[in-house]
Structure 1
């Protein structure tokens, strides 16, 4: 994980002190600056700053990388797990720099900008893993920048008050009126900075208006049309069954393959992780899970158990908030049903323990302990008083910009405090005065279950689509979710989660895993329209004769069942803002889409 800052102006331009602090929070292991002067009709300066969170290799690889032969520059924030299908061992930054340098060298012969863009885009298409980057081809004065097609790393583009260009991991400035926007995940972007190229147009308000940006877009077509580059992701299988599909069971081939492929994705992300600062063998964790106790995250925790040494603890980060609106409603209901003398107000601790995600988290924690004995599963109860939420609110709003709605804030609050990893490791269910064991995880790697709902039909709207329009409606709804993954909120989440010098990894969003799931027919991924499981699996899944697994994400539920997570396989989907109770903390008629002040 790294922080990136790149500016283009008539003089060297540096980030504000506040932005510099936020960049260092993302990457505290190294901070370096490099400036390049472009001579021409209009003298211009490129300023590059990189901050580094070192997670691969045997030492810290400082950035920006500068090629001594050409003076080309790379600021890289990513994890290249594979290049052209081959696993990258050790640190990936130098591998990527050499890959980019070779690509632009091959394009030098004809001097065609579009040819250079295509060559570099072809190199980028060979990378498997999350990334954002800024690359300056100094020999040809071309600035390239992009994010991966799923948008797993933050990168923003914007203009300062003087119209100077900035490409940065976080908004450079606290004012929400500054013209910053997410760099598009639709392709690879290039600005030609040659003296003969078009100069910036003054008086414009956006980067696209101010600078002539060439973009080579991705296409999921097997044979992309002219001007497009083949996407790492294939088109989704839109097949509609012509007859009744067979039941999906724990022994179905797809379910077995799903477990194996998810295991492979996870292996890339959790093995060979270096010891973080403050690490104590046998006590500290290298890996922590953003843990609500739901299906997706608990499945990642369970598979991690099979891939990590038994003496390595795994931290489970479970966040719960004091929500004054919810507390007031519960207190009102208690007073209506009981006399004041027999109904004392609930303690602050019991308010946290009553949060839906805390309840499911405790339950899933116990099931992990039962199914995986010998492992230290450290459940970190992260309890956030309302006053603490208010103290950090402006900081969270600053990090999530340019996103600026009530729903953005409620989700970002939960992610921000969960990623901080500071809580208590001792169950507190009775009295707020009970002795607590305070603990802050030293893990620099966080695992997130994000992406499972989109791929396996985990949202309520998928059921609605099937009820209204059958398999055709279901397939269309899943296709809509998958197609807009890169345009959704992963950039916002990255800015918030990375603030605590930790990197979040998304095993469900591995390119090879996503491509495999996209090729599968819908009836192998979820249970809508399928007959009940065969008797053996039905007996295992039915809880006291009344509870059955939801059709949403049925394939993942059956994997959980195969791994001994019976209760987890029955858990229902719940949005983080409601599970942690960050939604609508104040009384009033605010909606999630309302813009913040």
Structure 2
């Protein structure tokens, strides 16, 4: 992963340094702590100047400082991971591979073909010196952040910025395609314009003209009026890396459903899920899902730079081993399945860090939070294993720690017991990350607000802060019954985002299904991935990257999405069934096949509620409200 930045100015009255904020540089260096370089390109005859700034987090192959430049004045900045589509050897670096492939491209179509073939998250900036063109963009899902800012004769691109009440505002580069700026034409006219090459499905009912009209209208709304956005003259498009969503709704039950599924007792229990798995075609489908998801996790936990003496899988884990992989971990179904799959592929001698965040419960809630009965009611769990997990905890630690026993901490501990039962030889570092109101306020002002920016809602604040503290990985682990300070060394952080969006995991999906049926639910599911880049992924990449760690999203692997998109909604979820069963049904069935039990029937609980950050400062806000706390900023300590 990297922090990348480019500033282009068409004006002789300003230099690129006038637009490159030292606070932005500081944020970029935190994303890429292993190497930092800058390069300035001045083209005197055309009167434009470019600054390129690259900051590298070394994860694979040979260390490769950025930006890269060749003899033909091509310059490349890359923030991505190639998991498939273009071959990258175990000792090779994907930045060098991509740069070499780009320099061999002889046309716009060649460049689009190259990026269409990639599988994995990416954002990039490519200066094509021979043609005075600047190319940039984000992957189909927008899994890597890229922001832009414009003035009449200046464009700035960066992985992360800082909030400022003055000047032009930053916006996220839409994950709608790849953009090109013809610097020669812009320098001549002394004004900027953008050319867009949008994504399209390889087979689609929409014509190219319809795609261009739709995308241009959507992207133009967030651009300044003086920045024209045009389609490329050849009407070239990128080919989407996934297949379209299957929106078919069967008029009659298929053969698989007709046999035994209709007779299953629909209680919230593991036995109910096991009964579903007793239907052969259901079980076969679940195993297909497990296979494709397992491969996605494998790609994301292997191929990391590891010491040579740490490569054997048959060595028992030791306390001195270093974790390379962490999981954002609540004990819920998404993180449990990700952790169980990571266990299958991470070398056995390596610990896996389970990052579990909790925000201190308010003083007036302390008495309530010590009541086991209240906790069980609040979490809405009728799960013996979770109750036993809480009852058997050693609570002789400091009394104040009881008030970090938020719902996600309880389910996290129960999940830890399940994972230990699956693989008792693995070292599972359950990292208890406890955040006080004082620290929340301090770090939000100093750092987190700038990473959430340009997003600004209460929901962005809650999720952004929770993910920032969790991914920092500073907390306590239990060592022979005693809590000891611990800081996660893992550079890769796995997160379960994408599961709820594809498998009808949110409460809004039940409301939609109740009001509009399967057709309405299909429409809602279709919208989820279309907007996930702007709602979640850029923000989460900036948040996690701030710690010199890389966010990886197995549920958004292209093969996983294509597999799930190929299925009718009835195979993925059944919202006629109760909470804890019907939503994300196929994932719950997979969990049972792994041997997970209690976590397989946990109802969905959003991180802002499970970690209790949403209860810490204000109970009267709506998630969509603009968050006033994000505006009280200071960049002095960024």
Question: What is residue 48 of structure 2 aligned with on the other side?
Answer: 44
Q: Is the 2:162–2:453 contact (alpha carbons within 8 Å) kept by the matching residues of 1?
A: no
**Corresponding residue SS for 2:337:** helix
Q: Is the 1:81–1:88 contact (alpha carbons within 8 Å) kept by the matching residues of 2?
A: no
Segments of structure 1 that go 5 or more residues without pairing to the other structure are 108-115, 202-210, 338-345, 429-433, 531-546
Question: What is residue 480 of structure 1 aligned with on the other side?
Answer: 527
Shift of 1:88: 5.2
Q: Is the 1:52–1:62 contact (alpha carbons within 8 Å) kept by the matching residues of 2?
A: yes
CA distance in 2, matches of 1:7, 1:506: 30
Question: What is residue 113 of structure 1 aligned with on the other side?
Answer: none
CA distance in 1, matches of 2:330, 2:348: 23
Q: How does 1:150-165 map to 2 (within 5 A)?
A: 150-159=141-150, 164-165=154-155
In the alignment, is residue 138 of structure 1 matched against residue 129 of structure 2? yes
Question: What is residue 417 of structure 1 aligned with on the other side?
Answer: 469
CA distance in 1, matches of 2:507, 2:277: 22
Q: Is the 2:609–2:615 contact (alpha carbons within 8 Å) kept by the matching residues of 1?
A: no
Question: What is residue 581 of structure 1 aligned with on the other side?
Answer: 612
Match of 2:489 among 442, 462, 465: 442
CA distance in 2, matches of 1:490, 1:561: 29
**Corresponding residue SS for 1:515:** helix
In the alignment, is residue 568 of structure 1 matched against residue 604 of structure 2? no
CA distance in 1, matches of 2:185, 2:350: 56
Question: What is residue 370 of structure 1 aligned with on the other side?
Answer: 421
Shift of 1:282: 5.2
1:383-424 Cα deviation digits (max 9, x unpaired): 011111111011110111111222211111101101110100
Question: What is residue 34 of structure 1 aligned with on the other side?
Answer: 39
Q: Is the 2:115–2:238 contact (alpha carbons within 8 Å) kept by the matching residues of 1?
A: no
Shift of 1:173: 5.5
CA distance in 1, matches of 2:369, 2:238: 59
Question: What is residue 95 of structure 2 aligned with on the other side?
Answer: 93
CA distance in 1, matches of 2:369, 2:351: 41
Match of 2:360 among 309, 313, 322: 322
Q: Is the 2:433–2:474 contact (alpha carbons within 8 Å) kept by the matching residues of 1?
A: yes
Q: Is the 1:290–1:447 contact (alpha carbons within 8 Å) kept by the matching residues of 2?
A: yes
Q: Is the 1:176–1:402 contact (alpha carbons within 8 Å) kept by the matching residues of 2?
A: no
Question: What is residue 526 of structure 1 aligned with on the other side?
Answer: 573
In the alignment, is residue 129 of structure 1 matched against residue 120 of structure 2? yes
Question: What is residue 249 of structure 2 aligned with on the other side?
Answer: 240
Give the TM-score taking structure 2 as reference length: 0.80
Residue 410 and residue 548 in structure 1: after superposition, are their counterparts in 2 closer, same or farther (change >3 A)?
closer
Q: Is the 2:67–2:77 contact (alpha carbons within 8 Å) kept by the matching residues of 1?
A: yes
1:545-573 Cα deviation digits (max 9, x unpaired): xx984200010001100011011111111
Question: What is residue 537 of structure 1 aligned with on the other side?
Answer: none
Shift of 1:524: 1.4
Q: Is the 1:76–1:93 contact (alpha carbons within 8 Å) kept by the matching residues of 2?
A: yes
Match of 1:494 among 541, 544, 557: 541
CA distance in 2, matches of 1:219, 1:198: 32
Segments of structure 2 that go 5 or more residues without pairing to the other structure are 210-234, 262-275, 311-317, 374-397, 632-638
Q: How does 1:200-349 map to 2 (within 5 A)?
A: 200-201=190-191, 211-220=192-201, 222=203, 225=208, 227=235, 228-245=237-254, 246=257, 247=261, 248-249=276-277, 251=280, 252-275=283-306, 283-324=321-362, 327-329=363-365, 331=367, 347-349=399-401
Q: How many residues were matched structurally?
A: 538
Residue 332 and residue 318 in structure 1: after superposition, are their counterparts in 2 closer, same or farther (change >3 A)?
closer
Residue 391 and residue 12 in structure 1: after superposition, are their counterparts in 2 closer, same or farther (change >3 A)?
same
In the alignment, is residue 189 of structure 1 matched against residue 179 of structure 2? yes
1:295-316 Cα deviation digits (max 9, x unpaired): 0111011111111222211110
CA distance in 2, matches of 1:176, 1:92: 38
Q: Is the 2:420–2:428 contact (alpha carbons within 8 Å) kept by the matching residues of 1?
A: yes
CA distance in 1, matches of 2:616, 2:430: 25
Q: Is the 2:134–2:182 contact (alpha carbons within 8 Å) kept by the matching residues of 1?
A: yes
1:294-350 Cα deviation digits (max 9, x unpaired): 1011101111111122221111000001143xx425558999x9xxxxxxxx94211
Residue 464 and residue 588 in structure 1: after superposition, are their counterparts in 2 closer, same or farther (change >3 A)?
closer
Match of 2:64 among 56, 61, 64: 61
1:8-40 Cα deviation digits (max 9, x unpaired): 124232632221111111001000111111233
Q: Is the 1:220–1:230 contact (alpha carbons within 8 Å) kept by the matching residues of 2?
A: yes
1:219-251 Cα deviation digits (max 9, x unpaired): 125156262332112211010011124135365
1:107-147 Cα deviation digits (max 9, x unpaired): 2xxxxxxxx2x432221111100000100000000000000
Q: Is the 2:351–2:427 contact (alpha carbons within 8 Å) kept by the matching residues of 1?
A: yes
CA distance in 1, matches of 2:513, 2:458: 30
**Corresponding residue SS for 1:592:** coil
Residue 144 and residue 286 in structure 1: after superposition, are their counterparts in 2 closer, same or farther (change >3 A)?
same
Runs of 4+ in 1 over 6 A off after TM superposition: 332-335
Q: Is the 1:171–1:399 contact (alpha carbons within 8 Å) kept by the matching residues of 2?
A: yes
Q: Is the 1:38–1:45 contact (alpha carbons within 8 Å) kept by the matching residues of 2?
A: yes
